[in-house]
Structure 1
């Protein structure tokens, strides 16, 4: 069975590229536009990894990661890979505090994205 990846990214271009590249690696992809939709998807489904932009409308990636980590079920442990155009505004400690496992800088290096997703879905 294919591993399931949830991509949360408000840029359609980046979302579609990430989706195509990961589908090519045989991942099953669900894509949403903001953190609130991530939380809604997690109510109904389980994912092997979440790839999430930090800067999204409605609920950003930092708030979303915090909410996921506060869950009382297994889904609280879902690995989170953050992507951000301005990760410089955050420190490694900020990411650790909200429970983000890894972060990738934009413009996205898609080889690196595939490596990280592979790492967390082994």
Structure 2
């Protein structure tokens, strides 16, 4: 059972590291994060949350599992910062899209006016 927990924490840490790398890439414009990525991450975090609590209360963890749990906690702290950055990028993108939509609507108005005069 301890080995199974160790493997789950290893996988969770790998997924968190990948997400953190992609979130950093989002800031530099070299990667994207989709709604599906966020939903998948949420599911994994929800699934592992009880095990993190159990592991933190256990006094019989082997050193490897203790290290994985410690890394997981550090990754969760980094995730909090990364998600705030993702939120900022999403808000900026939303504003950009709204500006572009207003611009296109304005152009459409000019095109319509032109067609009415010709």
Q: Same fold (TM over 0.5)?
A: no
Question: Which is strand-richer, 1 or 2?
Answer: 1
Q: Which has the higher contact order (CA 8 A, sep 6+)?
A: 2
Normalised to the residue count of structure 2, the TM-score between the two structures is 0.24
Report the structure number with the largest CA radius of gyration.
2
Normalised to the residue count of structure 1, the TM-score between the two structures is 0.23
Question: Which is helix-richer, 1 or 2?
Answer: 2
